């Protein structure tokens, strides 16, 4: 009987240690699955050389100059760097922007660029024309609404990532501008 009790005590301790380790691993995995939010301001984007004279950088924001002609556009790119090292998940892209009407448009695309093949894939996309216009800045979030299966994981070993912003002015009154882009695994309202 003593041997049975001793074995049972050893078994309980082993089970307790195993469950504790499982809990620690589970919590660590959940923490790693959440990406620290990657954020950039509009003014750090690199404009294509042909568009540089159309762009105004001011107080963290970027926009087309009011003197830019109708049908003008500027393309800016923002490098997405490894967040705290390694692969992380992302589901949403929040964009703070101005689109003052039918003569302005802001598009933002998160790209994945493969190191070996050169394949370029758009992972998330925002288009200001999908929302009501406003002459003031507004923030919208796009992405997968739902389960964790909607997420994708950054793989900085095989890919580079960048955000491409296009500011388009189709008429004299157009005033497209970008304030902030944020990537996250959590929805921002």
Asked if 124 and 67 sit in the same domain, the reply is yes
Task: Name the pLDDT band for 188 (thresholds 50, 70, 90).
Answer: low
- Res 98 pLDDT > 80: yes
Considering the domain boundaries, does residue 189 fall inside one?
no
- Domain CATH code at residue 64: 2.60.120.260
If you average pLDDT over every residue of the chain, what do you get? 81
Considering the domain boundaries, does residue 97 fall inside one?
yes
Number of domains in the chain: 2
Give the global pTM: 0.77
Q: Domain range holding 53?
A: 35-184
- Please provide the DSSP assignment of the chain as one string: -HHHHHHHHHHHHHHHHHHHHHHHHHHHHHHHHSPPPEEEEGGG-EE-GGGGGGEEEETTEEEE-TTSPTTEEEEEEEEE--SSSS--EE-EEEEEEEE-STTEEEEEEEEEEETTT--EEEEEEEEGGGS--EEEEEEEEEE--S-GGG-EE--TTTEEEEEEEEEEE-STT---EEEEEEEESS---
Task: Name the pLDDT band for 144 (thresholds 50, 70, 90).
Answer: low
- Res 71 pLDDT > 50: yes
């Amino acid at each position: 009987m003593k041997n049975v009790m001793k074995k049972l005590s050893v078994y309980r301790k082993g089970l307790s240690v195993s469950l504790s380790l499982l809990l620690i691993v589970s919590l660590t995995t959940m923490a790693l699955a959440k990406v620290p939010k990657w954020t950039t301001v509009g003014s750090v984007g690199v404009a294509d050389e042909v568009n540089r004279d159309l762009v105004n950088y001011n107080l963290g924001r970027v926009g087309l100059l009011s003197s830019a002609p109708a049908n003008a556009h500027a393309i800016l790119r923002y490098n997405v760097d490894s967040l705290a090292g390694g692969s992380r998940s992302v589901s949403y892209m929040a964009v703070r922007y101005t689109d003052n009407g039918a003569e302005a448009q802001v598009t933002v695309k998160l790209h994945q660029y493969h190191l070996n093949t050169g394949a370029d894939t758009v992972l998330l996309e925002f288009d200001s024309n999908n929302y009501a216009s406003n002459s003031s800045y507004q923030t919208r979030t796009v992405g997968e609404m739902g389960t964790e299966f909607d997420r994708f994981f950054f793989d900085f070993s095989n890919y580079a990532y960048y955000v491409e912003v296009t500011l388009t002015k189709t008429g004299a009154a157009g005033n497209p501008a970008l304030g902030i882009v944020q990537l996250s695994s959590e929805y921002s309202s």
